[in-house]
Amino acid sequence: MQRKLGREFQYSILIIPALIFYVLFCVYPFLTMFYYSVTDYSVAQMTNLSFIGFENYTKVFDNDLLMAGFKNSLLYAILMTVFQTALGIILAVFLDRKLATKNILRSVFFLPAVFSPLVIGFLWNYLMSTSDFGLINRGLNGLGLDKINFLGDANLALYSVVLTQLWQWTGWAMVIFLANLQGISKDLYEAAEIDGASSWKKFWKVTLPLLQPSVNVVAVTAMIGGLKVFDIIMALTDGGPGNSTQTIMTAYIKTSFTEGAYNEGAASGVVFFVVVMIITLVMMKLLGKWGRNIQ
């Protein structure tokens, strides 16, 4: 018994570096942010801070920039989660077949995920530009159609950003689903065929239920990544036009460092943390319930 406890203690020591890293770079910054969120900390008041309670939290909901960031982040995350998951499954099912070029096609679809979102942002900024060198609008003009201001139209800008990110990350989701598909026994499909199931029926009754573990991974990571999106927004629109593509991260940066309202920025960060935690827990519960229903 003592030998077992000693061995477990030795193994427990190995987590100390990771624990220290987590406390220093996750727990401590969050506690500090919460502390600043209940004070009058700003560019004009950086010392002798006073406790002002939850006044900053009420200001968050009266701040048009921050509220636009919350709304856009939520819309962006929902669109990314739904379409990235759906398109990833479609691509995975298609490329799981016996195609002569399937390895090449898999590489082509996955390749955009290798690049930095900043690189992807600059690339699509070039492609979507309304100037003479914008390839997409040049193609539209060649077909006799009017130019589309993808990134300058407040009604289109956010959806244009979503399009670029679907192009970049759907291939990553496809790889996750492919790995799951290759673990599904072919005997299940043969049994379904014997029962007279069509291809559509086999997808709904065999493939999709058994993809539940990978759907969990892709959906949750897409939702969290969508809620905290920052770099692609800065590369493509910088939050414009107006506040149409502001996300909570870009709004946080502008509120805290551009306007110098560190306390309001900290309050928005705490609210954002709570929102992400609630959404993630709800998603995990719903996905878990779906998984139990199909077992």
pLDDT digits (tens, 9 = 90+) for 76-115: 999 999 999 999 999 999 998 888 888 899 999 999 999 9
CATH of domain 56-293: 1.10.3720.10
- pTM of the entire predicted model: 0.89
The confidence score (pLDDT) of residue 294 equals 60
**At 51, is the secondary structure helix, strand, or coil?**
strand
The confidence score (pLDDT) of residue 93 equals 92
The confidence score (pLDDT) of residue 173 equals 96
Q: Say if CB 276 and CB 224 are below 8 A apart.
A: yes
Report which residue type is found at 189. Answer: Y
List of the chain residues with pLDDT < 50: none
**Domain regions of the chain by residue span:** 56-293
Give the integer Cα–Cα distance in Å for 204 and 196. 14
| Closest to 217 (Cα-Cα) out of 184, 178, 176, 170 | 176
Q: Say if CB 160 and CB 128 are below 8 A apart.
A: yes
Give the integer Cα–Cα distance in Å for 181 and 93. 8
| Closest to 76 (Cα-Cα) out of 176, 170, 160 | 160
Q: Is 238 left (phi over 0), alpha (psi -120 to 50) or beta?
A: left
Report which residue type is found at 125. Answer: N
